[in-house]
Structure 1
């Protein structure tokens, strides 16, 4: 009986720790991105805030992707992706790519073209990083995709979209 009580306490403690972690992470502002791919496994995309630079030699960034996500196998097989950093007018696009919207309907939103990898590039993204996945590291429930940047697209003057405290916020430049 005492062992069962300890196990219940340990599970509760883990759940509390996970919730505390999520609450704490909500206080870190992050750029909102739509990560896309196209290739032999098809076209796919999802919304992500877990994206950051790794190094500039060679130019590399990382993208975190849950292995249980419906898009996981497509990214795994295609081995290319584009990180499209969203502008302040892209809140609806973020929601569409972050939900259970069918893939064709996701890509019906926005205006898309391609750079060298063939992954969909949002024409009016703040910046787009067209990448090849060069390494994958598994941690917990997610894979960390290390992505070498092959080409970029920038839209100067476009204002970025940030996710902070479980809500969208706009960035503005001060003169």
Structure 2
């Protein structure tokens, strides 16, 4: 924390940031990994493409999440982008259930690479863990993309202002010829 920001100022800024971020709509994903023979799953929105050369993804995971320890030890991971019909899976993996019970709903399968993935997700992005760093309460994990399973039509589950929603196709689109 910069020396000119007091703890009280930092708390006020964090509260304002949390409120401001409620207006940022994000696709909902479930990040999975396998480590020590156990499957892990966690709902997240702090996921982003990092680079196309090499193709890579960035995920941010709270240090208190069960997924944090295996990722910190270099576990490869899969980013499953949920469809609008998969809010129940998101809720299970966001803390409603723990451990293996998070895989009780949905068509979960194992890829040839050993990843647990959701077969009917909007897309599943399989990543080899290549780097990580810690910042504040979170770990930032970079994965080099090894494979992508992409289903159509596009109908992602979206999270904003503490609620699930879906993308309204066609709104705000222009002729891009």
Aligned to 2:139, the other structure's residue is in SS state strand
TM-score normalised over the length of structure 1: 0.88
Match 1:17 to one of 13, 22, 44? 13
- Measured against aligned partners, the alpha-carbon deviations of 1:64-95 in whole angstroms (never above 9, x if no partner) come to 01112233112223520000000001111101
Matched, 1:79 2:70: no
Structure 1 residues 41, 74: CA separation in 2 closer, same or farther (over 3 Å shift)?
farther
| Residue 28 (structure 1) shift | 1.1
Provide the rounded CA distance (Å) in 2 between the counterparts of 1:166 and 1:108. 24
Q: 2:165 corresponds to which residue?
A: 169
Aligned to 1:15, the other structure's residue is in SS state helix
Q: 1:61 corresponds to which residue?
A: 57
Q: 1:3 corresponds to which residue?
A: none
Q: 1:4 corresponds to which residue?
A: none
Asked if 2 retains the 8 angstrom alpha-carbon contact of 1:51 and 1:61, the reply is yes
Provide the rounded CA distance (Å) in 2 between the counterparts of 1:114 and 1:138. 29
Structure 1 residues not aligned, in runs of 5+: 1-8
RMSD: 1.8
- Measured against aligned partners, the alpha-carbon deviations of 1:27-51 in whole angstroms (never above 9, x if no partner) come to 1111100000013262101000000
Structure 2 residues not aligned, in runs of 5+: none
> 1:1-175 maps to which residues of 2 (within 5 A)?
10-40=6-36, 42-77=38-73, 79-174=75-170
- Alignment size in residue pairs: 167
Asked if 2 retains the 8 angstrom alpha-carbon contact of 1:51 and 1:62, the reply is yes
If you compute each CA radius of gyration, which structure gives the higher value, 1 or 2?
Answer: 1
Q: 1:6 corresponds to which residue?
A: none
- Measured against aligned partners, the alpha-carbon deviations of 1:134-175 in whole angstroms (never above 9, x if no partner) come to 000211111110111100101111410111122111114339
Aligned to 1:124, the other structure's residue is in SS state coil
Provide the rounded CA distance (Å) in 2 between the counterparts of 1:129 and 1:158. 15
Asked if 2 retains the 8 angstrom alpha-carbon contact of 1:80 and 1:117, the reply is no
